[in-house]
Structure 1
Amino acid sequence: MDNNVFSSTELQIYFALLLVVLTNFLFLKRFLPYHQNVESMRPRLPPGPKPWPIVGNLPEMLRNKPAFRWIHKLMKDMNTEIACIRLGNVHVIPVTSPELSREFLKNQDSIFASRPTIMAVDFISKGYLTTALGPYGEQWKKMKKILITDILSTRSHKRLHDNRVEEADNIVRYVYNQCNDKDKGVVVDVRFVSQHYCGNVMRRVCFNKRFFGNGMKDGGPSHEEVEHVDAIFTMLKFIYAFCISDYIPCLRGLDLDGHENIVKKAVRKVDQYHNPVIEERIQQWKDGRKKDVEDFLDVFITLKDACNNSILTPEEIKAQITEIFIEGVDNPSNAFEWALAEMINHPEILKKAAEELDSVVGKERQVQESDLNKLNYVKACAREAFRLHPVVSFNVPHVAMDDTTVANYFIPKGSHVLISRQGLGRNPRIWDEPEKFKPERHLMDKDIDLALTDSELRLLSFSTGKRVCPGVMLGTYMTVMLFAKLLHGFTWSVPPNETSIDLTESKNDIMLAKPLHSLAKPRLPAKVYQG
């Protein structure tokens, strides 16, 4: 669209911003001299564009969508690894430096341990009842303790081993079943397969079921599962999508950028599938029809306090289950799709991964979780995908709970700190040939940590500090198992009549612009796929 032409939606947004400026002008004029005197005594803010009164840099952000690309371009043009962009009355602090990231997430972790209270999270978490998305406070402490102790503990991980393995085996059978001609293979939508593998695993560990309906005979998702996964990914897309009302709260409800309606619709769709399962299970435990703990939902329901009262309300259970799905589906599926696309364009990488799998596993059985620690090259491929192709550009925002100073810059209370996954992973000061997919760069250590994390924050996968993802164990096993199962079970190449995979990023996010389609052929004896 011509940058000099305003759409009707943009005109509405700018008109609303103008009203905000006008209604606040007289109030600010009265207090501005005092505000300026206080500001003059503080250390300087990180560098950034000069903000407009009241609305800050929102006009520039709205004219340069998507916001994450605009922010990274600003930082590149200013040649800085930390910036300050004021959106409304919020100081947004993007960071692309590992050293500065460690200052925020490690050295001053206790100050930056909160989350913003924003529209999408409010709806998804049913009023901030959850862990990862909720602001710092007693509710967050309560839910985090439950997740660490009862849900995502090592004991729980072992108990749900069979659920995870069955879904990994199922996705291999599903792809194999598509190959009507085993010699010619079949063109597979890798994004579809990997996302639904993740959806299947999460449904099994949360609800002990693969399908909401009858499912498909070949093991693939039916329309219920497709709707469910699509709604989860819609939530993920809009959780921190730089919604205008998140920075000027008085505009909430007007839905000027359309985000609110989209998020509400996705929440309703997920509730449509989750709520009947949760409510029926609660009743089963009340009636005594359910006696054995089989999944996360059972654990949530059976948690009791000293007086034998339920620790969690139904609303807390519903909200936390949804958040677990959100945390579990995106990283593994995106990493595999991007990694496979890169590996197909570099067949020598695919060959090395297959040779390692054959050496460790052989060709007479499928990969098991017990094999994963020995698959260093496969893990290196996964880590390289996290580095070069993170699922989102910025990590979930950290909110400053007090004024502080970082690298001699003043960081005001309430600032939203955005650690750039792209900026860390592609930082040319840290990485040699940062734009190149090179798994070997991660083989310097004798054994690669299965968790795929980096203590120096040169890349960011599952965060760190108080806000580290509690599901890091589950997420990393899901990721490495997805890589191992599909790289071991099939050869992958470009579809017929194509010469390479297009690695263009999407305009509005950093996923592949076109879902990866690849020719898959079975590489193991037929009996192995039926096991």
Structure 2
Amino acid sequence: MEHAPSLLFSKIRSLWFFVCLTIILKSLIPSFVQKWSKKQKPKLPPGPKPWPVVGNLPEMLAYKPVHRWIHNLMKQMNTEIACIRLGNTYVIPVTCPTIARQFLREQDATFASRSLTTCTDLVSSGYVTTALVPFGDQWKKMKKILTTALLSSQKHLWLHDRRTEEADNLMVYVYNKSKIVSNGVPGLVNIRSVARHYCGNITRKIVFNTRYFGKGRKDGGPSFEEKEHVDSIFLLLSYVYAFSISDYIPCLRKLNLDGHQKKVKEALKVIKKYHDPIVQERVKQWNDTPKIDEQDWLDILISLKDADNNPLLTLEEINAQIVEIMIATVDNPSNAFEWALAEMINQPNLLQRAIEELDSVVGKQRLVQESDIPKLNFVKACAREAFRLHPFAPFTPPHVSMSDTTVGNYFIPKGSHVILSRRELGRNPKVWNEPLKFKPERHLKSDNGSNVALTEPNLRFISFSTGRRGCPGVTLGTSMTVMLFARLLHGFTWSAPSNVSKINLAESNDDLNLAEPLMAVAKPRLPPELYHL
């Protein structure tokens, strides 16, 4: 019996030890788990150390243009994905195709939204369009209209003759220019102007069924109204996704510190001056005579009905969507041709190879037609190479993350603006051999019968992007681009002016355009009757 107290004491001590151990473990385990989880949680992509509150906005304002600062920063840090905090926004630039595919293919649904900026708000009339609109019901509605009502294969065929008419007009206009002495040089042509107005003409033709807003010109060229219109479209393009301080510190928006808002409003005023009377008159025609035969995209947009047979689109939606169509169609084809021709004049063997292909496929007794496009693989390779090496814009429009996620072992917070670098994806030395050289043959497949496409789904460069936010107008964009290349390369021989030994390929200080518009000498190479249509 003498051992009973000691046995009881031993049991009580063991129980007390167990209780204390349990309490200690319960208090320590959460902190260990939290600490462990913090160690396991991926970090943000590398980037410059941000300042309190404003992030890296001081650097953004100090180093212009911003796209060069970002690209130089990434090269200095030796990274293909970065994180730059502007205000409270994480901006994630990407220069690696593999990482880009993780964003736009593997996690496309997460990055299907758009950023809210002062300029996109103005251009889209409060986000009632498609390309500039954040993910949601309005975007779904407008994208469905674009893909099914405007850009279907049936509608593309329906507008074939309109596109051909403008390709013919292009030949007439350049032929007339080739007969004029400008600045003492016969046949001198401003390629930037010609290419941009060709794109503008096509877009006006398929949207409004007109080439001219005014009386027009007999030689096929743009008059004052078309010049003002196209110039305003390109002004919008230069500001629509520009890096603006007010977009990252919203309380500053009313101050318009960088002047972007004022310039966008002025450009929109010019564009609406030409668009609005046409739209209003056409709506009146449809109201007065509901059974009008559809002639163009404007007719289609007005005639669309909802389930209750009411107009599907408001006047505001129609006007804003037309502006967005304009800015989406004029830039890439015109920029690609200007850069490609500049490169090809400096490499005459490339011009000769393109001409030989065109003469082989088309001959010299007729003009190139859209039906020839599948066989013009070298011409398309030249266009692809221009898209790769000389994109119009340095970055894609932002893809905004709709939730926290992980990409490339990096943490990407909800609300991040992911911008793919058009410039550096196409020049990535891990992907492209001699990335800074214009080499169209790199796009030709070993099988000569294979069709060369302008699309690049693997994001080794960006022509029409991919995923939910990819351009729905691939067919139209391809037709416009290839016909611009093919008609002008087939119809004329091109050379530098006699006082220029080589075309200067320097980029503009502010953007990715040629520093100076390309001036080249055109000489007709087909029978004269083909130019008088």
TM exceeds 0.5?
yes
Distance 1:152 1:106 in 2: 23
Partner of 2:500: 498
Q: Quick one: structure 1 residues 224 and 177, their matched pair in 2 at CA, closer, same or farther if it must change by over 3 Å?
A: same
Counterpart residue number, 1:104? 103
Q: Which residue of the partner structure matches residue 452 of structure 1?
A: 454
- The one-letter amino acid of 1:81's match is E
**Contact 1:384 1:438 (8 Å CA) reproduced:** yes
Q: Which residue of 1 aligns with 2:429?
A: 428
In structure 1, the partner of 2:73 is 74
- Once the 2 structures are TM-superposed, how far is the Cα of residue 37 of structure 1 from its aligned partner? 13
Amino acid at match of 2:263: I
* One-letter amino acid of the counterpart of residue 464, structure 1: T
RMSD (CA atoms): 1.6
Residue aligned with 1:405, SS? strand
Which amino acid in the other structure matches residue 227 of structure 2? V
Pick aligned residue for 1:482 from 481, 484, 492 = 484
Q: Could you tell me how far apart the structure 2 residues matched to 1:434 and 1:38 are?
A: 42
Shift of 1:119: 0.7
1:27 aligns to what? none
Question: Equivalent residue of 1:465, what SS?
Answer: coil
Q: Secondary structure of the residue that 2:414 maps to in structure 1?
A: coil
Distance 2:101 2:171 in 1: 39
User: 2:178, 2:189 within 8 Å by CA — same for their partners in 1?
Assistant: no
Partner Cα separation in structure 2 for residue 43 and residue 270 of structure 1: 47
Quick one: distance in 2 between partners of 1:154 and 1:412?
Answer: 39
Alignment of 1:196 onto 2:197:
yes
Report if aligned partners of 1:451, 1:473 keep a CA contact under 8 Å in 2: no
Q: Answer yes or no: is the 8 Å Cα contact 2:333–2:477 preserved in 1.
A: yes
Q: How many residues align?
A: 495
SS of residue in 2 equivalent to 1:336: helix
Q: 1:185 to 1:526 in 2, by over 3 A?
A: farther
Q: How does 1:132-171 map to 2 (within 5 A)?
A: 132-171=131-170
Q: Check the 8 A contact 1:207/1:296 in 2, yes or no.
A: yes
Corresponding residue for residue 19 of structure 1 = none
What residue is the counterpart of 2:385 in the other structure?
384
Query: Paired residue for 2:25?
Result: none
**Alpha carbons of 1:121 and 1:472: their partners in 2 closer, same or farther (altered >3 Å)?**
same
Q: Is the 8 A contact 2:188 2:520 kept in 1?
A: yes
Q: Give runs of aligned pairs for residues 319-398 of structure 1, distance below 5 A.
A: 319-398=320-399
SS of alignment partner, residue 467 of structure 1: coil
Shift in Å, 1:497: 1.1
Return the letter of the residue paired with 1:108.
Q
- Counterpart in the other structure of 1:14: none
Q: CA 1:306/1:181 → structure 2, altered by over 3 Å: closer, same or farther?
A: closer
Shift of 1:179: 2.4
SS in 1 for 2:272: helix
Structure 1 residue matching 2:330: 3-state secondary structure: helix
Alpha-carbon distance between aligned partners in 2 of 1:342 and 1:235, rounded to the nearest angstrom: 27
Relative to structure 1, the CA distance from residue 135 to residue 193 in structure 2 (aligned partners, 3 Å threshold; closer, same or farther) is same
Question: Partners in 2 of 1:150 and 1:467 — Cα distance?
Answer: 18
Mapped to 1, the partners of 2:92 and 2:229 lie a distance apart of: 34
CA apart distance, 1:444: 2.1
Contact 1:86–1:92, Cα closer than 8 Å, also in 2 = yes
Partner AA of 1:521 in structure 2:
K
Q: C-alpha separation between the residues in 2 aligned to 1:353 and 1:444?
A: 16
Q: Secondary structure at the match of 1:232?
A: helix
| Cα distance, 1:448 vs structure 2 | 5.8
The answer for unaligned runs of 5 or more in structure 2 is 1-34
3-state SS of paired residue (2:468)? helix
> Given the superposition, is the C-alpha separation of residues 178 and 289 from structure 1 closer, same or farther in structure 2, using an over 3 Å criterion?
farther
Tell me if the contact between 1:505 and 1:512 (Cα under 8 Å) persists in the aligned partners.
yes
Taking the aligned partners of 1:45 and 1:249, their CA distance within structure 2 comes to: 24
Q: Which residue of 2 is the match for residue 259 of structure 1? A: 260
Tell me by how many angstroms 1:425 deviates.
0.3
Which amino acid counterpart does residue 247 of structure 1 have in structure 2? Y
Matched AA of 1:419: L
* Change in 2 beyond 3 A, CA 1:285/1:261: same
What is the aligned partner in structure 1 of residue 13 from structure 2? none
Structure 1 residues 40 and 257: alpha-carbon distance in aligned structure 2, compared to 1, 3 A threshold? farther
For residues 464-475 of structure 1, the aligned pairs below 5 Å read 464-475=466-477
Tell me by how many angstroms 1:476 deviates: 1.1
Q: Secondary structure of the equivalent of 1:428? A: coil
Asked if residue 507 in structure 1 is aligned to residue 506 in structure 2, the reply is: no
Code of the residue aligned with 1:240 in structure 2: it is Y
Displacement of 1:305 in angstroms is 1.5
CA gap 1:367/1:61 in 2 versus in 1, 3 angstroms: same
The match for 2:273 is: 272
Q: Which position in structure 2 is the counterpart of 1:123? A: 122
Aligned to 1:525: 527
Equivalent-residue separation in structure 1 for 2:335 and 2:446 (angstroms) = 25
1:264: how far off?
A: 0.7
Tell me how far 1:484 sits from its aligned partner: 0.1
Pick closer, same or farther for the CA change 1:292–1:190 going to 2, 3 Å.
same
CA distance in 1, matches of 2:70, 2:451: 32
SS of residue in 2 equivalent to 1:253: helix
Closer/same/farther in 2, CA of residues 449 and 114 from structure 1, 3 Å limit: farther
Note if contact 1:380-1:448 (Cα within 8 Å) is conserved in structure 2.
no
Q: Secondary structure at the match of 2:523?
A: strand
Q: 1:180 Cα deviation (Å)? A: 2.3
Kindly indicate whether the alpha-carbon contact (under 8 Å) linking 1:451 and 1:472 is maintained by their aligned counterparts in 2: no
Q: Does the C-alpha gap of structure 1 residues 38 and 314 become closer, same or farther in structure 2, counting only changes over 3 Å?
A: farther
Q: Give me the whole-angstrom Cα distance separating, in 1, the residues matched to 2:37 and 2:132.
A: 33
For 1:494, give the aligned amino acid.
A
Whether the aligned pair in 1 keeps the contact of 2:178 and 2:521 (CA below 8 Å) is no
Q: How much does 1:62 deviate?
A: 0.5
Partner of 2:4: none
Match of 1:17 in 2: none
Does the 8 Å CA contact 1:360/1:371 hold for their aligned counterparts? yes
Give the 3 Å change call, closer, same or farther, for CA 38–117 of structure 1 in structure 2: farther
| More displaced 10-residue stretch of structure 1: 288-297 or 65-74 | 288-297
Look up the match of 1:31: none
The alpha-carbon deviation at position 208 of structure 1 amounts to 0.4
Indicate the percent of aligned positions where both proteins have the same amino acid. 63
Deviations 1:487-518 (A, max 9, x none): 00000000121101000000000110000000
Aligned mate of 1:463, from 459, 462, 465 = 465
- Once residues 288 and 36 of structure 2 are traced to their aligned partners in structure 1, the CA distance between those partners, rounded to angstroms, is 66
Q: 1:76 to 1:501 in 2, by over 3 A?
A: same
> AA paired with 2:140?
K
Q: 1:113 to 1:122 in 2, by over 3 A?
A: same
The change in CA–CA distance for 1:86 and 1:372 in structure 2 (over 3 A counts) is same
Return the alpha-carbon distance in structure 2 between the equivalents of residues 448 and 97 of structure 1. Answer: 27
The one-letter amino acid of 2:467's match is G
- The one-character-per-residue Cα deviations of 1:444-499 (angstroms, maximum 9, x if unpaired) are 25356564011211111111000010111111110000000000000000012110
Task: Decide which structure has the larger Cα Rg and report it.
Answer: 2
Question: Structure 1 CA distance, aligned partners of 2:446 and 2:130?
Answer: 33
Stretch moving more, 289-298 or 207-216 = 289-298
Question: 1:419 maps to what in 2?
Answer: 420
Distance across 1 between alignment mates of 2:179 and 2:103: 53
Q: Deviations over 1:235-287 (max 9, x none)?
A: 00001110111111111010111111011111111111111111110001111
